[in-house]
Structure 1
Amino acid sequence: MIAATNHAAQAAPGRTKMIKRMIVAGLALGLAAGAAQAQDVKVGLVLPYTGVGAELAQPIDRGAELYLKMHADEIKPYKIHLIKRDAKDASGANAKIVVQELLTQDNVDVLAGWVYSPNAIATAPLVAAGKKLAVIMNAGTAHITNMSPYYVRTSFSMWHAGHALGEAAAKNLKAKTAVIGYTDFPPGKDSLAAFKMAFEANGGKVIDEIPMGGANAVPDFTPFFQRAKDKKPDVFFVFVPGGDHSSAVVRTYNALGMKEAGIKLIGPGDITQDTKLQAMGQSADGLITMHHYNADLDNPENKKFVAAWKKEYGPDSTPDFMAVAGYDGMAAIVHAVKGLKGKVDGEKAVALLKGWKYQSPRGPIQIDADTRDIIMNEYLSQASFQNGRVVQKNIGKIEAVKDACKANKVGPCAK
């Protein structure tokens, strides 16, 4: 899958030049209409609305829509129009088609979305050619923001949680040995590298690294988890891309009796995604994660956000880390729209967002002026089953965490 993604991202030179010429021509055709309707801003939202990723797209879509509804008065006199396009899967091919259409046919002012990293990687050349602000609302492979100067990330890098949890596993959990299991695509490899670097720098030892299938379909985790159990580590660090993957992780962990064997299941908050957590029930009790958001965070902005979410989408619905990325991503877009008085020039919009600060439901956030990545708190949490409900109790916090991949100049992050 990785090789295929890289191949898709490196289209034949002739085809790439043709696409770039089409984008430039399409942008030129849209100038007159853009000047006539300066109050209207079109945002192209690229998400996998169908297929296995649809359940990941929904909270991002809802988060973006909810921000617009909650802040309607603040947005005036501008009108934000969301033009939604289906990226379908993590292959990169469909994402390239819809991004090209959004730029050349819809003449959007801003691009946003990207659940899967391979899609953001594959479309980076088009984003660069289109010269439009492009807000990443999920894709967490660290070096993506280096691939186009128009990418700004309001979600996370896999290094935010992975590196922080590697340090916490050694220091807070007193773990000496770890096995790492990861979905075998770019974010999974980032999580592996991030956790391993911090864990071993703090005295731990990674004794096995297990690739566990791809992102497009949920695999049978049993052979991977049995291999990890046989190694008898203190902790089993797992990264999967949320959704049904996370449910399967917790189910397999319990089915194999790994908790009873003394092996702690830990990982980024993808494995305790709020939209899946209650269905896990008592089997989630004791899971330890590091992440920037969960619906139980105790701050005024999150309480307001969760209440508005339940009012809008139903009392049994709950926002998750993808929802807050869509919400914050739209906050960033609105900031750029207002700052540029509705005329969203790509370079000016990116410049305006460098150093931008915002009080998010996840806590205070900022866009790193050097990397265009997010700076935010990371919360060490433990899931606890209480009175028929799973609650995420925060047992630690690291404030103002930057993307550790770029901070440590690792691999492509150094470019």
Structure 2
Amino acid sequence: MPLSRRALVCALAASSFALAAAPAQAQSVKIGIVGPFSGPFAHYGALFKAAAEAYVAGQGGKLGGREVELIYRDTGGPNPAQTKSLVQELIVKDKVDYLGGFVFTPNALAVAPLIQQSQTPTVIFNAATSSITEKSDYFVRTGYTLWQVTVPLARWAAKQNIARVVTAVTDYGPGLDAEAAFKSEFARQGGTVVESIRMPIATTDFGPFVQRIKASGAQAVYTFLPGGPPNLGFIKAYNENGLAKSGVRFLGTAETDEFDLQKFGDSAVGLTTAFHYSGAHDSAANKAFVAALKKQDPGAAANYASVGAWDGMHVIQKMIEATGGRKDGPKAIATARTLQWESPRGPVRIDGKTRHITQDVYLRQVEKVGGVLVNKEVESFGPQVDHGLAQ
């Protein structure tokens, strides 16, 4: 029997009311992860992806009770203009709620105005220049800075009666931070930097620079290079030019990164670095992290890039919980400022003022354990702030 006009209107009205009364289905939280997924630094992107997905899997596939969508964008390497374009697309077209990643300082600095304008909480997994977090109120860092890991190393070197050092760094933001941190603290401790060498970021032949170090009469070289091929090239030149045999100590930070460590062979044994993480860190949290990472991607290395992404996802989870999954940049960042937790690297907290992670820094030496090279933590310098932002 056909419905009367009045009955039809009533039925439509009731249906509309029912739809309006039904709770709207919660949309997934969108997280954009920006990094190099191609080119010579593509391992960073792969490690970000493995760690982020391992973290989400460990939380049952959700963060803060909300479904999440991870959206990856490839910068290819240090490319500020490309990175800015990608992030603008993520914010405007993809409407991401959070951003994470960023390997290179120039890329992170390029997007700061976009982050500030859109109030998009952005977790820096790696880029290591101190000033980054000053460029937007919505930056939080779970990586490290060169000041943070270098100042305790300079103090240690002075205590070893090392009086004359050459600094040799890649000529861009983090390298300049590394040079400034070592020179200033080493001078404070009574030491002398006899020469400061800056190497172009595209350098592949480190022989001429290493020869200058050898000729300087220094007792040690403090170096900073971006991860990947430059590490292998510099340490190869260091050994082939006889610096180790002549007693010139190697002092570094991430140069014996777990991603490349086995490629060095026995020539790496004894190399000394100061850093915030080692894949060999002995804790239950680190063992769980290593296991989760390997389950997600058997080829992934537990190193500073993957642990920065893992902890970055923890921070994003806590921001999602605090905001109920809604996009609320100020509330999310206010929450991030209060966070402290047990990381695979040890106890950490976000500095409420700088939005940078405070963490223990360790003196490490490369050792061979069971036929495998590891960064053995031989001393803890205790919790370190970003000394660069304290200047």
Q: Which has the higher helix share?
A: 1
- How many angstroms does 1:317 deviate by? 4.3
Q: Distance in 2 between matches of 1:295 and 1:321?
A: 8
Note the alpha carbon deviations across 1:230-281, whole angstroms, 9 max, x for none. 112111011001111111121111111100111011111x201001111112
CA contact (8 A) 1:281 1:389 kept: no
State the partner residue of 1:303. Answer: 287
State the AA in 1 paired with 2:330.
Answer: E
Query: Mind listing any 5+ residue stretches in structure 1 that lack a counterpart?
Result: 1-34, 409-415
Paired amino acid for 2:233: A
Structure 1: how far apart are the matches of 2:182 and 2:59?
A: 38
Does the alignment pair 1:313 with 2:313? no
* SS of alignment partner, residue 260 of structure 2: helix
Distance, in Å, in 2 between the alignment partners of 1:63 and 1:405 is 28
The 3-state SS of whatever aligns with 2:388 is: helix
Question: What is the RMSD of the two structures over their aligned residues, measured on CA atoms?
Answer: 1.5
Q: Could you tell me whether the CA contact under 8 Å between 1:281 and 1:388 is conserved in 2?
A: no
The letter of the residue matching 1:261 is S
For residues 44-69 of structure 1, what are the alpha-carbon distances to aligned partners after superposition, in whole Å with 9 as ceiling and x for unaligned?
11111112221222212211111111
- Structure 1 or 2, whichever has the larger Rg, is 2
- Secondary structure of 2:290's partner? helix
SS at match of 2:358: strand
* Alpha-carbon distance in structure 1 between the residues aligned to 2:136 and 2:332: 14
Q: C-alpha separation between the residues in 2 aligned to 1:189 and 1:37? A: 49
Q: Is the 8 A contact 2:64 2:317 kept in 1?
A: no
Q: TM-score, normalised by structure 2?
A: 0.91
- Taking only the aligned residue pairs, the percentage that are identical comes to 37
Question: Which residues in structure 2 correspond to 1:313-392 (within 5 Å)?
Answer: 313-314=297-298, 317-392=300-375
Tell me the residue number matched to 1:194: 181
- Number of residue pairs matched by the alignment: 369
Which residue in the other structure is 1:170 paired with?
A: 158
User: Separation in 2 of the partners of 1:36 and 1:48?
Assistant: 37
Partner of 2:268: 284
1:252 aligns with: 237
Within 2, Cα distance between the matches of 1:82 and 1:317?
18
Superposed counterparts of 1:80-99, under 5 Å: 80-99=68-87
Please give the per-residue CA displacement for 1:337-376, whole angstroms capped at 9, x wherever unaligned: 0121111311110001102001110001111000101100
Deviations 1:91-122 (A, max 9, x none): 30100000110111001101111100000011
Q: Distance in 1 between matches of 2:64 and 2:184?
A: 47
The DSSP-based 3-state class of the residue aligned with 2:382 is strand
Partner of 2:3: none
Whole-Å separation in 1 of the counterparts to 2:336 and 2:64: 20
Q: Distance in 1 between matches of 2:25 and 2:180?
A: 47
Identify if the C-alpha distance between structure 1 residues 256 and 72 changes in structure 2 by more than 3 Å, giving closer, same or farther. Answer: same
Give the counterpart of 2:207 among 222, 226, 233: 222
SS in 1 for 2:218: coil
Counterparts of 1:329 and 1:239, CA distance in 2: 24
Alpha-carbon distance in structure 1 between the residues aligned to 2:85 and 2:190 = 47
CA distance in 2, matches of 1:295, 1:68: 21
Alignment of structure 1 residues 144-159 onto 2, 5 Å: 144-159=132-147
Contact 2:126 2:144 in 1 (8 A): yes
Per-residue Cα deviation, 1:175-229 (whole angstroms, up to 9, x for no partner): 1110000010001000001111111111111000001111xx3521111111011
